Structure 1
Amino acid sequence: MPRLSAAGKKALDELEQTAKSGRLPGFTLAVSNLDEQIYVNAAGNKTYGDSSSPQVTPETVFWICSMTKLLASLAALQLLEQGKISLEDPVSKFFPEFESAVVVQNVFTDPDPSYAAATQAVTILHLFNHSSGLYYSFNPSAPPYRLPDPYTHPDYTGEDKYSKFFELVKGKFPGIPLAFEPGSAFAYGFSSDVLGFIVEKVTGQSLDEYSKQHIFGPIGVKNTYTLTAELKDCMIDLCFRNQDGSIEPWNDRAPVTPRYPEQVQAFFGGIGSYSTMPDYLSILRHLLQIEAGRDVPNAVLKRETVKQLFGPTLSPAGSQALNMFIGLLVPRTTSENSNWGLGAALTTTDMEGRRKAGSLMWSGWAGTWWFMDPKAGIALTFGSQIAPPMDPVTAEISDLAEQIVYANLED
């Protein structure tokens, strides 16, 4: 198994200076091979700029935001294995609201777009690979870092939380709005949330309960969709980067998702979970071991299913749209070689000095990143906690950490 050389560990240790210099809030970095975690380090304080606050450690909890999307996919893949759902199932089988979906023209550029009834059905496959047409809608008068309203709505009590969610998604449209005909492209949006809702409908459990019983528990991690008092004390504070590069506390400048058990009324598979970086790394290692054909204790998926997770699913037009999306959000990251598997972005060609073709990767709104490379047998998680999303310094440091790892692997 590849391991990190002493020089590699020293170079990763030196990334601490990013937090010590104030360029980045506290962070945790963890790396694994197929057998075990081979590196972990943490730097900075839980409260940015407060040297008296507790230090960030490997046990510090992060709001991992869109890194949740992979976890929701794992839950749905288990149901796929059990024959309880199929990739061809129309989503309207579970939520009739999708029978009247509409395709909106020029949704991202026209303030008053036209629309027409969708001619294709949204299927479960379209939710897995974000080709459903569901997209994140934003209020043009709100700050660009404000989360979409369905994620921050304060009241999902009542007889049907799903109906309320879809009402908020519809907004001014007569049906659920889609950016294109299902299956024809790629759009980042509420697909993973709907996938998580289907898990709840089929199992009769909340996404949190189901995941703890069938994914987090068997793997042995403490991932959660709600923060207990114990985990709250382990949480790092959210920060904000100003346009001049300076950092300050979040100070409730925009609503975030409800996070405490008494507040959470809807579990969002697209944004709603919390984890330490080593725990998320354990999930990635678990998947890599299954993919490699290891005899994995308490395996959460079959090998053939995990192989599907690493397979491309988007059309050429969908892949092109995904590459444009990644290039827009992370300009310094090579993006022309991406597709989407059944849970994350798929690298389809080797990246020089970095992950190999067949790797999966994604990130989170508040400064978290991950990848797993089955060819090299390497996985990495990096977490800080800062908005607006796609913070350039978190992207820089996670990229640099990846380059250091691949330059310093030894047998």
Structure 2
Amino acid sequence: MKQLSVALLLFSTVFSALEPSFATSSSSGHGKVPKLSPAGLKALDDLVANTVKSNRLPGFVLAVSNVDEQLYANAGGNQTYGDPNSAVATTDSVFWLASMTRLLTSISVLQLVEQGKFNFDTPVSKFFPEFKNVVLLHNVTDPASTFEPVKKPITVWHLLTHTSGLSYFLGPPRQNYESSVPYTHKYAEGEGHSKFLELLKFGFPGIAVASHPGTAFTYGHSTTVLGLVVEKVTGQSLEEYAQKNLFSSVGVNTSYRLTEETNSRLIDLHFRNPDGSISGWEDRAPVIQRYPEQVRVTLGGVGAYSTLPDYLTILRHLLQIEAGRNVRNAVLKRKTVQELFKPQLKSDVTLGLEQLLDLISPNINFENPNWSTTFAVTTKDLRGGRPKGSGFWSGFAGTWYIIDPKTGIALVFGSQIVPPLDPVTAEVVEEAERIVYANLEY
């Protein structure tokens, strides 16, 4: 596992970014739809069996879809690692999606943009006056840092593209398996938006940022703030809004809340020790509020739970819209979905993102990767894998996805193991990708 200092450096790296300007998309269509050959299906089965045999992961699930249907789904391991009495993982197992939640929340935001409730240039201070006072820290890890007012207001666009300056790495350095305080705070009854925004100040007189809005890409709390915007505009919780306008439309049981039943199917959170062995989480660090605690702040950046086949169903739904299919209950307009795969960062700042992805996917040679409003995008074909224009990202606890509109393929894989950037989950998903693209037939 890489040292914390390296992870902080790369995750805190700032990338200059474009202001909102969507390029015109062309119709993509997919002609013949690929399927997995018998050899490909067997190779995926072998990958799952070998991963179980290696005993290097707790419960995990792998699933693949084309634009029409799910092509493959399989599971291995146990809900609790090392416990022979534990339930085995199945394709109905539930996973904490962590940062894969961002796609879901961004869809809700883009729906409201389509409806004219606000636009990309709308200042966030329109919804929350706290954003009228935002300060740039000169030393993000120093609680006594000097600071200055930001040069421009944070907008919806800045939140979507992670160019708001809101950062996970403000305050004293933490272990790389510790989440930020605004996520792990145990919100009491009566606390909500105002308390979350207060915590974003990190003790400073205004909401604290690591870069001037619109000038740099900084991974952090932006999407969770977007979730608060959804709640403010709609008068509903993000959970209520998403259930009505996303999850029920697509026909999935994904949720920002665990219930007794879904919690019983949740793969336990585990910890990878420095020697590669696996332990239970053992409350070594706080995590977000969840069942049986009452969730008082819906965390749109990290707070969703789902089976991976259900998440794959959402990806397939987007592929169908992008391909121009007549999609029942389409959650976004086709043009909006096509723009999800358009890079929004300037090309001269992608080296830092490539360095970040070297940690996330160390065995893939990303060339000039970029970022859209929802996820990372490839700008070059990857040898033996996804083509240019594919979206992808991963989650803190070991979940991954790829969505490829050119080929019409989506893939999800996940376990539940921290610290992030787990090398074994990266190895398995990378091998699964190679198998899929080597065994497509038309």
Structure 1 length as normaliser, TM-score? 0.96
How far residue 7 of structure 1 moved from its aligned partner, in angstroms, is 1.1
Distance 1:120 1:141, change over 3 A: closer
Tell me which of 380, 386, 389 is aligned to 2:417.
Answer: 386
Instruction: Tell whether 2:64 aligns with 1:31.
Output: yes
2:360/2:426 contact within 8 Å kept: no
Report the residue type matching 1:116 in the other structure: E
- The alignment status of 1:217 with 2:248, answered yes or no, reads yes
Name the residue aligned to 2:84. Answer: 51
Contact 1:356–1:373 (8 Å) recurs in 2: yes
**1:364 is matched by which residue type in structure 2?**
G
User: Quick check: 1:338–1:347 contact (8 Å CA) kept in 2?
Assistant: yes
CA–CA separation in structure 1 for the residues paired with 2:408 and 2:338: 14
For residue 19 of structure 1, report the CA deviation from its aligned partner: 2.5
Unaligned runs of 5+ in 2: 1-32
Q: 1:333 to 1:95 in 2, by over 3 A?
A: farther
The one of 155, 166, 172 equivalent to 1:134 is 166
> C-alpha offsets along residues 180-227 of structure 1, whole Å, 9 cap, x if unaligned?
111111110000000110000000010011001100001000001111
The separation in 2 between residues aligned to 1:9 and 1:81, in whole angstroms, is 40
Corresponding residue of 2:196 = 165
Comparing 70-79 and 246-255, the one that deviates more = 246-255
Is the 8 Å Cα contact of residues 171 and 202 (structure 2) preserved in structure 1? no
Contact 1:27–1:43 (CA under 8 A) maintained in structure 2: yes
Q: Secondary structure at the match of 1:294?
A: coil
- 2:313 corresponds to which letter in structure 1? S
For 2:98, the equivalent position in structure 1 comes to: 65
1:115 CA drift (Å) = 1.7
Residues of 1 paired with 2:399 and 2:66: CA distance?
Answer: 20
Q: 1:86 to 1:321 in 2, by over 3 A?
A: farther
Task: Find 2:287's aligned residue among 237, 256, 274.
Answer: 256
In the alignment, is the contact (CA less than 8 A) between 1:186 and 1:319 conserved in 2?
no
Cα distance per residue 1:337-395 (max 9 Å; x no partner): 22111211111111111111111000000000001000010000001000001111001
Please point out which of 271, 291, 300 is paired with 2:331. Answer: 300
- How far apart are 1:70 and its partner, in Å? 0.4
Aligned to 1:228: 259
- The reply on whether 1:175 has 2:212 as its aligned counterpart is no
Match of 2:306 among 272, 275, 284: 275
Structure-2 separation of matches of 1:399 and 1:95? 41
Q: Is the 8 A contact 1:46 1:236 kept in 2?
A: yes
User: Structure 1 residues 88 and 261 mapped into 2: Cα distance closer, same or farther (>3 Å)?
Assistant: farther
Name whichever of 49-58 and 98-107 sits farther off.
98-107
Moved over 6 A (4+): none
Kept in 1, the 8 Å contact 2:163–2:214? The answer is: yes
Q: Distance in 2 between matches of 1:262 and 1:149?
A: 17
Taking only the aligned residue pairs, the percentage that are identical comes to 56
SS at structure 1 position matched to 2:392? strand
- RMSD over aligned CA atoms reads 1.6
| Code of the aligned partner of 1:131 | T
Distance 1:11 1:282 in 2: 23
Distance 2:360 2:63 in 1: 24
From 13, 17, 29, the equivalent of 2:45 is 13
Which residues of structure 1 form unaligned runs of 5+? none
Residue equivalent to 1:85: 118
Structure 1 residue identity aligned to 2:74: N
Give 2:24's aligned residue: none
- 2:367–2:379 contact (8 Å) kept in structure 1: no
